[in-house]
């Protein structure tokens, strides 16, 4: 008996659009890592929904062959959750910048974590607003001089790793395009994780970012969590290491819940089956929550 299982390669996820990022932007490497991770997972492009907000990094869905939605600044997560609820069989990816995710959209991150739908959220953390030409972002370090802070930022930065760990995220990892194999690996692990997965990518903005945040420097500074023998089943140990955000560039999986349990989409999938609908029409999406 022959089985007809299609095998996908990284190039199958690359769209015909040519990226318009600045030469040397870290986001070029991130999209390559996403192609590789998707090829390893092997889902066909038409079964993938890729949602973003607004920013340089939010252009990323358009450079893939997945169904893409370059949505509204800070609102990628609510849209992605709606898509997943309507059709839980889709592989859902969400991407954007640190401004999109932790400034205007910061409130959504906590609730997406609590809701725990099976999706992967990739932040391209360049510590700056790239698209709008270099204003302070929530992850900019104190003292940073930018277009909007000529005397240096007077605020402490958000620590995205501690933020998501504190809200109970079940999968938390960090990567850099300076280590393409490592980044593709954590994205693949995030996609395979059954639940909400968060991946912080240190993706340098070569035009407005900090001078020491370039790929070459990152390569020499990064420390893999694996080399430390880190136990990724411990949230407390993950939080200890995450405190080094902004000082040490740790890469790899900080935390993976050893008992992830059922997701909200498991419940929704069960209800879809009970309602004999694989993907509910928009008008009936809320029917899955009816008491039965
Ligand atoms: C509601 C709304 N507010 C503000 C903007 C302007 N704006 C567009 S992108 C952006 C920030 C971009 O920074 P980030 O999200 O970190 O992404 P990057 O461009 O650095 O990848 C802002 C403030 C907008 N488009 N919509
Ligand atoms: S402005 Fe920065 S983040 Fe935007 S494309 Fe250029 S290098 Fe990349």
CA–centroid distance, 135 to ligand 2, in Å, is 12
Smallest-distance ligand from the CA of 22: 2
Structural domain span for residue 184: 10-262
Residue 201, domain CATH: 3.40.50.970
pTM (2 d.p.): 0.96
C-beta of 81 in contact with ligand 1 (< 6 A): no
Q: Is residue 25 part of a domain?
A: yes
Cα–Cα distance list, 154 to 106, 138, 255, 280 (Å)? 20, 12, 31, 49
The verdict on residue 21 lying in a domain is: yes
Q: Ligand 1: does its nearest atom lie under 6 Å from the Cβ of 130?
A: yes
Q: Treating both helix axes as pointing N-terminal to C-terminal, what angle do 264-274 and 76-86 enclose, rounded to 10 degrees?
A: 40
pLDDT of residue 287: 82
What pLDDT was estimated at residue 4? 63
- Kindly state whether residue 161 falls inside one of the protein's structural domains: yes
Distance 48 CA to ligand 1 centre (A): 25
**Length of the chain (residues):** 292
Report the atom number in ligand 2 closest to the C-alpha of 21: 5
| Rounded Cα–Cα distance for residues 121 and 130 (Å) | 19
Nearest CA to ligand 2 atom 6: 22
Q: Is 154 part of any domain?
A: yes
Whether 269 is in a domain gets the answer no
Please give the average pLDDT of every successive group of 10 residues along the chain, which has 292 residues. Answer: 77 98 97 98 98 98 98 98 92 98 97 97 98 97 93 96 98 98 98 98 96 85 97 98 96 98 88 76 79 72
Question: According to the model, what pLDDT value does residue 290 have?
Answer: 80
* Binding pocket residue ranges, ligand 2, CB within 6 Å: 21-22, 25, 27, 56, 126, 130-131, 205-208
Asked whether residue 289 is domain-assigned, the answer is: no
Confirm whether 279 is domain-assigned.
no
Q: What pLDDT score was predicted for residue 3?
A: 59
> Per the domain annotation, does 31 fall within a domain?
yes
Task: Give the pLDDT of residue 273.
Answer: 83
pLDDT at 222: 95
Domains identified in the chain, total number: 1
Ligand 1 contact, 122 CB (< 6 A): no
Report which protein residue has its CA nearest ligand 1's atom 24.
73
């Amino acid at each position: 008996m022959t089985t007809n299982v299609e095998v996908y390669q990284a190039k199958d996820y690359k769209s015909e659009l040519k990226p318009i990022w600045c030469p040397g932007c870290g986001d070029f490497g991130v999209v390559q890592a996403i192609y590789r991770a998707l090829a390893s997972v092997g889902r066909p492009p038409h079964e993938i929904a890729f949602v973003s907000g607004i920013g340089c990094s939010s252009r990323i869905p358009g450079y893939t062959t997945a169904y893409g939605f370059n949505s509204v600044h800070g609102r990628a997560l609510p849209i992605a959750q709606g898509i997943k609820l309507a059709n839980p069989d889709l592989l859902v990816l969400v991407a954007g910048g640190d401004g999109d995710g932790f400034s205007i959209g910061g409130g959504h991150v906590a609730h997406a974590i609590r809701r725990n739908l099976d999706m992967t959220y990739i932040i391209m953390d360049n510590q700056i607003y790239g698209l709008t030409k270099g204003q302070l972002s929530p992850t900019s370090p104190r003292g940073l001089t930018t277009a909007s802070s000529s005397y240096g930022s007077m605020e402490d930065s958000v620590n995205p790793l501690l933020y998501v760990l504190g809200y109970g995220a079940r999968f938390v990892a960090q990567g850099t395009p300076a280590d393409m194999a490592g980044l593709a690996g954590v994205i693949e692990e995030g996609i395979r994780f059954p639940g909400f997965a968060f991946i912080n990518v240190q993706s340098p903005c070569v035009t407005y970012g900090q001078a020491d945040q370039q790929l070459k420097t990152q390569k020499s500074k990064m420390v893999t969590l694996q080399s430390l023998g880190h136990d990724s089943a411990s949230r407390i140990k993950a939080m200890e290491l995450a405190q080094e955000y902004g000082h040490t560039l740790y890469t790899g999986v900080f935390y993976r819940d050893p008992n992830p349990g059922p997701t909200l989409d498991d419940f929704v999938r069960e209800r879809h089956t009970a309602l004999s609908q694989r993907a509910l029409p928009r008008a009936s999406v809320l029917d899955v929550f009816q008491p039965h």
